[in-house]
Amino acid sequence: MTKEKPGLTEILEANRRFIYALLMMPIAGMIIAVGLIIYKKPNNMLVALGVIGFLIVQYGFTIYFFIQRLNKISNKESEKKKK
């Protein structure tokens, strides 16, 4: 009567789009911040846009490599189950 708990592979495959959308929320917030900074045009606009641009690139690379790692883990676990 015991049910097997879903493994990491099943959880990732079932919720892949949700996980990706959740991880992309900070980038959406930074893009909104860029729009507000351009709208207000403060004196230090270039510094603020430079910092936000750097953070977008850094976070983007971090998420890209994290997603690649999740895909590798998912593929390894699915190969183990097939054997």
The total of other beta-carbon atoms located within 10 Å of residue 33's CB is 15
Residue 57, domain member (yes or no): yes
Instruction: Supply the pLDDT for residue 47.
Output: 93
Residue 6, domain member (yes or no): no
Structural domain boundaries, residue 53: 43-83
Residue 61, domain member (yes or no): yes
**Whole-number mean pLDDT of the chain?**
87
Residue 33, domain member (yes or no): no
Structurally, how many domains does the chain consist of? Answer: 1
pLDDT digits (tens, 9 = 90+) for 33-55: 999 999 999 899 999 999 999 99
Instruction: Supply the pLDDT for residue 79.
Output: 79
DSSP secondary structure letters along 25-69: HHHHHHHHHHHHHHHH--TTHHHHHHHHHHHHHHHHHHHHHHHHH
Distance CA 72, CA 9 (A): 10
pLDDT band of 20, cuts 50, 70, 90: confident
Residue 29, domain member (yes or no): no
Residue 52, domain member (yes or no): yes
Residue 23, domain member (yes or no): no
Q: Which residue has the higher pLDDT, 44 or 80?
A: 44
Residue 75, domain member (yes or no): yes
Instruction: Supply the pLDDT for residue 52.
Output: 94
